[in-house]
Amino acid sequence: MSLRSPLGTAKGLGSAKDGLHHWWAQRVTAVALIPLTVLFAFQVALLSMSDYKTVIDCIGSPWSSALIISLIVAAFYHAALGMQVIYEDYISNKAIRIGAIMTTNLMLFLLGTAAIIAVLRIALGG
Amino acid sequence: MSSNNRPLSPHLDVYRLPLSALLSIVHRGTGAFLSIGSVVLVWWLMALAGGEASFTSAQSFLGSFFGRLILLGWSFALFFHLANGIRHLVWDAGYGFEKEAVEKSSLVVIAAAVILTLAVWLAAFIFAAGA
Tens-place pLDDT, residues B26-60: 999 999 999 999 999 999 999 999 999 999 999 99
CB within 8 Å of chain A, chain B residues 12-41: 28, 31-32, 34-35, 38-39, 41
Please give, rounded to a whole number of angstroms, the shortest distance from the CA of B5 to a CA of chain A: 29
Cβ separation of A45 and B82 shorter than 8 Å? no
* CA separation for the pair A98, A84 (Å, rounded): 9
Angle formed at CA B42 by CA B65 and CA A119, multiple of 5 degrees: 125
What pTM does this model have?
A: 0.89
- Write down how long chain A is: 126
How confident is residue A16, by pLDDT bands cut at 50, 70 and 90?
A: low
Nearest to A41 among B32, B38, B75 (CB): B75
Q: Do A82 and B85 touch (CB under 8 A)?
A: no
Residues contacting residue B28 through CB under 8 Å, at least 6 positions apart: A86
DSSP helix/strand/coil, A17: coil
Please write the tens of the pLDDT for every residue from B56-87.
Answer: 999 999 999 999 999 999 999 999 999 999 99
- Report the C-alpha gap between B33 and A113 in whole angstroms: 20
- A116: amino acid identity, one letter: I
CA angle A33, A39, A41 (to 5 degrees): 95
Chain A CB within 8 Å of residue B55 CB = yes
Q: Is B51 left (phi over 0), alpha (psi -120 to 50) or beta?
A: left
Distance, in angstroms, between A71 CA and closest chain B CA?
11
B77 contacts in chain A (CB < 8 Å): none
As a whole number of angstroms, the distance between CA B24 and CA B80 comes to 11
pLDDT at B5: 79
Say yes or no to pLDDT of A3 above 90: no
The one-letter amino acid code at A76 reads F
- Does B42 lie at the interface with A, CB-CB under 8 angstroms? yes
CATH number for the domain whose boundaries are A16-124 = 1.20.1300.10
The more confidently predicted of residues B127 and B126 is B126
The answer as to CATH 1.20.1070.10 being correct for domain B19-127 is no
State the alpha helices, DSSP H only, in chain A.
6-10, 19-46, 52-60, 62-90, 94-124
Q: Is the four-CA dihedral B84, B85, B86, B89 of positive or negative sign?
A: positive
Contact B92 A76 (CB under 8 A): no
Confirm if B50 and A123 have CB atoms less than 8 A apart.
Answer: no
Give residues with Cβ within 8 angstroms of A72, minimum separation 6. Answer: A112, A115, A116, A119
The runs of H, that is alpha helices, within B1-131 are 19-49, 52-62, 65-92, 99-122
pLDDT at residue A36 above 50?
yes
* Interchain proximity A118–B46, CB inside 8 Å: yes
